């Protein structure tokens, strides 16, 4: 009897140990409730700013408005330019009225129609050119002044003229006259009834059409005469057409010039008497310098 009880107790102990071992094993890992790491959003890349193109120009230097700004008259219009890096040293030797050639950039100004002009390079052109009445400077950069031989009452005299900028053209103007770019007129300083009105022609201008228009325009003044090639003044070597009419106390002329492939139509108005000879002696030379 005692032997059976020991055997049963031993069996019960073995069963307890087995059950205890099975109950102590954990087969599943505890759940990980930490949120997954999120990938940071990539910031949008702004487009690289475009480098403004470099432009070139010629004009007349009008001086320095402040330490950072200069004024240049370009095609008859005064424009303000900011100074780029190193340009302050380049403008130091310049004087007001100097003819200059330059490089610059232009950029839009937010909310404004005007553009920001910045000088990147500037230099003075040749100070003076000399020559006869038909001697004109060629090229984009023209000298600020030029000396011409003017025939006054049969006597040749040397006179100096200054370069002036019109709407898309330039020409040399004597000190007795002034260019009014907004009117495209060169007029006598003491009496603006003596004037030459300049129109820049398109590349495909038709000479026959211009002759008809000139005839109609001058007919209101008087009988129109077409001047032959051999009678056109020597100072207007580029003239393709020369019409003239006299009446109502004035002499009017309609002239078509072609200079370096560019055409110009010019209407001249001159009151009879007074400064007639002096004006005509100068204006033909001035018109012959059109570029």
pLDDT, tens digit, 9 for 90 and up, residues 194-207: 999 999 999 899 99
Residue 224 lies in a domain: yes
Q: How far apart are CA 178 and CA 259, in angstroms?
A: 21
Residue 69 lies in a domain: yes
Q: Are residues 104 and 238 in the same domain?
A: no
Q: Are residues 276 and 153 in the same domain?
A: yes
Token pair of 130 as six digits: 């000399």
Q: Are residues 119 and 132 in the same domain?
A: no
CATH number at residue 117: 2.40.50.140
Closest C-alpha among 256, 258, 263, 139 to residue 203: 263
Q: Are residues 250 and 136 in the same domain?
A: yes
Q: Are residues 154 and 229 in the same domain?
A: yes
Residue 128 contacts residue 145 (beta carbons within 8 Å): yes
Closest C-alpha among 210, 212, 183 to residue 195: 183
Token pair of 37 as six digits: 């790491």
Q: Last residue of a domain, which of 124, 147, 176?
A: 124
Q: Last residue of a domain, which of 79, 106, 124?
A: 124
Token pair of 250 as six digits: 């004035």
Per-residue pLDDT at 18: 42
CATH number at residue 168: 3.40.1000
Residue 31 lies in a domain: no
Per-residue pLDDT at 280: 85
Q: Last residue of a domain, which of 124, 152, 177?
A: 124
Q: Are residues 110 and 209 in the same domain?
A: no
Token pair of 263 as six digits: 């055409």
Residue 40 lies in a domain: no
* Domain limits for position 140: 128-288
From first to last of its 291 residues, the chain has per-residue pLDDT tens of 444 444 444 444 444 444 444 444 444 444 455 555 555 555 556 556 677 888 888 889 988 888 889 999 887 788 999 999 989 888 988 888 888 999 999 998 888 878 899 999 999 885 433 333 333 334 446 789 999 988 877 778 888 999 998 888 999 999 989 999 888 999 988 888 999 999 999 989 999 999 999 999 999 999 999 999 888 988 887 799 999 999 989 999 999 999 878 899 999 999 987 666 678 889 999 999 998
Q: Are residues 132 and 102 in the same domain?
A: no
Q: Are residues 163 and 106 in the same domain?
A: no
3-state secondary structure the chain: CHHHHHHHHHHHHHHHHHHHHHHHCCCCCCCCCCCCCCCCCCCCCCCCCCCCCCEEEEEEEEEEEECCEEEEEECCEEEEEEECCCHHHHHCCCCCCCEEEEEEEEEECCCCCCEEEEEEEEEECCCEEECCCCCCCCCCCCCCEEEEEEEECCEEEEEEEEEEECCCCEEEEECCEEEECCCCEEEECCCCCCEEEEEECCCCCCHHHHHHHHHHHHCCCCCEEECCHHHCCCCCCCEEEEEEEEECCEEEEEEEEEECCEEEEEEEEEECCCCHHHHHHHHHHHHHCCC
Number of folded domains that form the chain: 2
Residue 9 lies in a domain: no
Q: Are residues 135 and 236 in the same domain?
A: yes
Per-residue pLDDT at 116: 92
pTM: 0.53
Q: Are residues 94 and 230 in the same domain?
A: no
Token pair of 200 as six digits: 């820049």
Q: How far apart are CA 289 and CA 170, in angstroms?
A: 8
Per-residue pLDDT at 151: 80
Residue 219 lies in a domain: yes
Residue 6 lies in a domain: no
Residue 196 contacts residue 268 (beta carbons within 8 Å): yes
At 88-124, the pLDDT tens digits run 888 988 888 888 999 999 998 888 878 899 999 999 8
Q: How far apart are CA 157 and CA 161, in angstroms?
A: 13
Cβ within 8 Å of residue 285, ≥6 positions away: 133, 148, 150, 161, 172, 174, 235
Residue 245 lies in a domain: yes
Q: Are residues 188 and 160 in the same domain?
A: yes
Q: Are residues 192 and 141 in the same domain?
A: yes
Per-residue pLDDT at 275: 63
Per-residue pLDDT at 67: 83
């Amino acid at each position: 009897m005692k032997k059976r009880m020991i055997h049963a107790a031993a069996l019960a102990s073995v069963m307890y140990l087995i059950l205890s071992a099975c109950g102590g094993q954990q087969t599943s890992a505890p759940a990980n409730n930490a949120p997954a790491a999120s990938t940071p959003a990539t910031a949008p890349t702004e487009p690289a700013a475009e480098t403004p193109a470099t432009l070139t120009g010629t004009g007349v230097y009008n001086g320095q408005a402040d330490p950072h700004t200069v004024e240049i008259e370009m095609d008859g219009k005064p424009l303000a330019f900011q100074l780029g890096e190193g340009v302050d040293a380049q403008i130091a030797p310049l004087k007001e009225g100097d003819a200059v050639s330059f490089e610059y950039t232009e950029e839009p100004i937010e909310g404004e129609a005007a553009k920001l002009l910045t000088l990147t390079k500037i230099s003075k052109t040749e100070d003076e050119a000399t020559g006869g009445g038909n001697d004109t400077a060629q090229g984009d950069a023209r000298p600020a002044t030029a000396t011409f031989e003017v025939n006054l009452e049969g006597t040749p005299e040397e006179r100096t003229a200054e370069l002036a900028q019109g709407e898309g053209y330039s020409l040399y103007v004597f000190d007795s006259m002034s260019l009014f770019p907004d009117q495209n007129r060169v007029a006598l300083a003491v009496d603006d009834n003596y004037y030459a009105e300049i129109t820049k022609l398109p590349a495909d201008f038709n000479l026959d059409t211009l002759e008809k228009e000139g005839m109609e325009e001058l007919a209101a003044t008087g009988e129109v005469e077409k001047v032959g090639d051999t009678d056109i003044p020597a100072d207007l070597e580029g003239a393709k057409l020369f019409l003239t009419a006299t009446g109502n106390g004035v002499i009017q002329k309609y002239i078509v010039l072609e200079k370096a492939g560019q055409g110009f139509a010019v209407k001249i108005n001159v009151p009879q008497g007074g400064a007639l000879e002096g004006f005509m002696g100068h204006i033909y030379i001035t018109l012959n310098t059109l570029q």
